[in-house]
Amino acid sequence: VSAPSPSHLDVFAKIQSLLTPEVLLGDPRATGEGIAVAVLDSGIEESLLQSKFRGRGQDILPIRGAIFEPDRTEPGPYDGRQSSPHGTTVADIILSLAPRVQLYSADIFGSAGSCEVDVLLRAMHHAVDVWKCKIVNLSLGIAEQRLQQVPRRYQFLRAVEEAYYKDVLVFAAADNDHPLTRSYPAVFAPPLFSVDKGEFGDALRFAYRLREQVEFQAQGRGYLGPFANEPATSWAAPHLAGIAARILSLHPDLKPFEMKTILYWLSKHA
């Protein structure tokens, strides 16, 4: 085994010099442009977000999407409305960090605030295969006791893995408030990005905190919606998704493990 040559060290030094928050996140082109992001949630109130960002002098792209319901195999048309504010809060966080992403709203919860795993899986497949999204945000969790069936659990894992093999980045809320209960899909941490909530002064700040069910920690407060100020992993996941969208707009072909490496590096050298 020979020691690294000076030329190799130069390469790593060059990479390190590029992997800084200033370079990756401070670049004016890091807006999320060209990146499709699916928000699997409770719908998005489009007019409200259009109005908010227009007020800031930022034009966001028209939001596309669909409504997924248990008794319909084909998704229904998205009408630009939320079924509850949760999805709008999530979308607002992503747009606040990456205002030029192409958002897709997959309303899977409806007004009931929950859905069957089948509906979630259909929406995931739709986001990956039909909408061709590069990022899927899952600010949701299914308690372990509600996913006892091993085949169903495997089906869920398989959907996450399929996204991974198609270079899709899945961000899932760690939903780890309960000390004993594990939450899906966050427990599938290796192929996805499991995100815990944290208190960061800057929305672009985050941390690498590897432990069971959790890999990253991001800002846990949102900006729009009745409970946006309530710390929640639901708001942390879209923060990291928005950061990833910014980086992807500079390097759109990054794979999930590459993105994890970059995020890890950035968190260590912020």
Partner 1 sequence: MPVSSEETIETILIVDDEESVRRTFREWLESSGIRCRIVTAEDAEHALREANRQPIDLAILDWNLGAGNDGLRLLEDLYVFHPDIVAILVTGFAHQATPLHAMRMGVRDYLDKNQDLDRESFLAAVRRQLERILPAKRERRLHATLAAFREAVEKILPLVQSAATLNEPVPLSEAIRGLLRFLVTAIGAQDAVLVVHRRDSKGDGYRAYDASGQRIETDLVSFAHSVAGAAISLGKPSVLDFRQPADGTVQWQSFEKGRQTVLAVPMAVSPEIQVVLEVFDKMPFTPDDQRLAGAGAALGIDLLRHALAERQTHQLLFTAVEGALQASDSITQALDPASGRRAAEPPADLVLKKLREGLAADKAAPLEADDTVRLAEAVRVLALGHGSMAVQHCIRFVEQLRELLDSVTGAGDSRT
Helices (H), 167-232: none
In the bound state with partner 1, the residue whose beta carbon lies nearer, of 71 and 74, is 71
Q: Does the footprint of partner 1 cover residue 172 (CB under 8 A)? A: no
Q: Does the footprint of partner 1 cover residue 198 (CB under 8 A)? A: no
Q: Which of residues 21-50 bind partner 1 (CB under 8 A)?
A: 41-43, 45, 48
Q: Does the footprint of partner 1 cover residue 199 (CB under 8 A)? A: no
**Of the candidates 163, 44, 55, 25, the residue with the CA atom closest to the CA atom of residue 108:** 44
DSSP letter string, 224-263: SSTTTTS--HHHHHHHHHHHHHHHHHHSTT--HHHHHHHH
User: How would you list the strands of the sheet with 76-77, edge to edge?
Assistant: 76-77, 64-67, 102-107, 36-41, 135-138, 169-173, 193-198, 214-219, 206-211
Q: Does the footprint of partner 1 cover residue 256 (CB under 8 A)? A: no
Q: Does the footprint of partner 1 cover residue 87 (CB under 8 A)? A: yes
Q: Does the footprint of partner 1 cover residue 242 (CB under 8 A)? A: no
Q: Does the footprint of partner 1 cover residue 191 (CB under 8 A)? A: no
Q: Does the footprint of partner 1 cover residue 58 (CB under 8 A)? A: no
In the bound state with partner 1, the residue whose beta carbon lies nearer, of 33 and 107, is 107
In DSSP terms, 216 is beta-bridged to: 195, 208
Q: Are 137 and 94 in contact (CB under 8 A)?
A: yes
| Rounded Cα distance, 124 and 204, in Å | 26
Figure out which of the listed residues 123, 136, 168, 224 binds partner 1, where binding follows CB under 8 A: 224
Interface with partner 1 by CB under 8 A: which residues? 41-43, 45, 48, 51-52, 81-89, 109-114, 116, 141, 177, 224-227, 229-230, 232, 234
